[in-house]
Each structure stands twice: as C-alpha cells, then as structure tokens.
Amino acid sequence: MNFKFLKVLSVLILGVSLTASCVSRKRIAYFQGLETVQKQQIDAAEKNIQVQPGDMLSIIVSAPELQAAQPFNNFRPTPGLGQGSGGGGNQEPLTYLVNDNGTINFPTLGKMKVTGMTGKELEEKLEEQLTSYLQDPVVTVRVENFQISILGEVGNPGTFTIENDDISLPQALGLAGDITLSGKRKEVLVTRDVNGERKYAYLDLTDANVMNSPFYYLQQNDVVYVEPVGSKIQSTSYLNTAASYLSVVSVITSLILIFTR
C-alpha cells in the first residue's frame, strides 16, 4: 500500500518539477523565438551611434608617411612615462570637445560640423578632406566619454564608461550584473536624448525580435531602467518557486511515511 502510494507521489513530484521549469523558462529566458527572426532583420538594426554636443572625440590620423600625418594629431605625454627623454615615452591623444553648435576645430581643416554623423561617417569625411594633404590617410574616431547608466533591478547598478562605442542592451546589462530574478525582463525601459528631445522604449528581452529595435544598441548617455516585479513581496525567483514546490511535496511525503508506518 505504502509502496504504491510513494510511486504516485513520485509521479506528482516529477509533474510539478516539469511544470514549474516550463513556467520559469517562459518568464526569464532571453531571446525566445530566435529561430524565427530572419538574419536580415537583425542586421538591419544598425549601430547608428551619432556624434552629439558634449562628446569628447579622440581623432587619430595615420598615413604611410608618419611624419606627414603628425600635424593632424594632438598628443600629450602620459604622466610618469618618457618625460624628459626627448619625446620618447608613451603618448595619448588629446580629445576634441563637440561644442553646443555641434562643431570641432580640427588642425588645418578648421571648424567642422560633426553632430548628426556616425563615427564611421566622420572618419570617411576626414579621410576625404585629408587626401589634399596626405597620401592614403586613415582616420580613427572614438567617443571617449561614452557612458550609459543602468538602474533598478540589476546586480550592480551604476554609470559605466564604454571603451569601444559599441554595446548592445544585453551586454550593458551584463556589465551591471544582469537583471535580478525580481526584475521585469519583458519591460526594460531605455531612455535616450535625441536632439534635445527625450525618447524612450520598453524592450522585451524574452522576445528575440528585440534585436530589431533601434534601442537594442545603446547610444551615449542612454539610461536603462529595470522595474521590479510587482511590489517585490514575492521576491523569490521562479526557479526557487519550483524548488519550493518540491520542498512542500517532500515534507508531505515524509509526514505520510511517519503516520503510515
């Protein structure tokens, strides 16, 4: 009698485990339905990071004749290294501050309008204009003060400086320790300043189509906010809920064994 009853309980435990696991995956797994998202759609989500007023740009010009490219580069010695050694030591590029009018003052070329262009577009524009002075110039542009802020239900909220000007929302959340188990994965808020106008979008990270959103790749000074689930009264994770079911069933099994001996 007891053996037959235990078999029934075992089946129930297995059923609860499978049910709880399915629910938890549906709620917390990222990029569900990825197999249905066409590659060309994902590729269409361009990383169109544009230069904005207040950006600090490092612009490095190189050419086969290094000496000829030198007047177009502003460098300063790295403190503590190579000073007083006749220019030997490490150097780092000086940055160009994009003013409120969206311009910078570039050596020889003078005042240039740079806002509204992506880094790649600015590189191409400079290379085109520098061909009058250099043979085969190569220009590298980077935003030195590229920062994003991540708030709410993440492991390590704060403001982060991004070195390569290229970061997606999941990568940013990874820097912040990922969304906690009490955070909403289906309503991640991204706010952005576009030409003085504040725009925002709620992104569902459980849906693979999020990759098509223009907010999927972050831009400088974006703010990401992860809301808590409900009032956080039920702050236990979905996986812990499944474990709780198993614990309850285990306790019931133990009590039945005690009283049926």
- CATH number for the domain harbouring residue 104: 3.30.1950.10
Whether the model clears a pTM of 0.75, i.e. scores above it, the answer is no
Look at residue 240 in the predicted model and tell me its pLDDT.
59
Q: Of 143, 164, 184, at which residue does a domain stop?
A: 143
Q: Is the torsion defined by CA of 162, 168, 171, 176 positive or negative?
A: positive
The pLDDT confidence band at residue 78, using thresholds 50, 70 and 90, is: low
Q: Which domain holds residue 15?
A: 2-26+235-259
The pLDDT confidence band at residue 62, using thresholds 50, 70 and 90, is: very high
Percent of the chain with pLDDT over 70: 64
Tell whether the model's pLDDT for residue 239 goes beyond 60: no
- CATH number for the domain harbouring residue 201: 3.10.560.10
Q: What is the separation, in whole angstroms, between the first and last Cα of the chain?
A: 11
- Are 53 and 99 in contact, with CB atoms under 8 Å apart? yes
**Partners of residue 87 on adjacent β-strands:** none
Q: Of 103, 121, 143, at which residue does a domain stop?
A: 143
Number of domains in the chain: 3
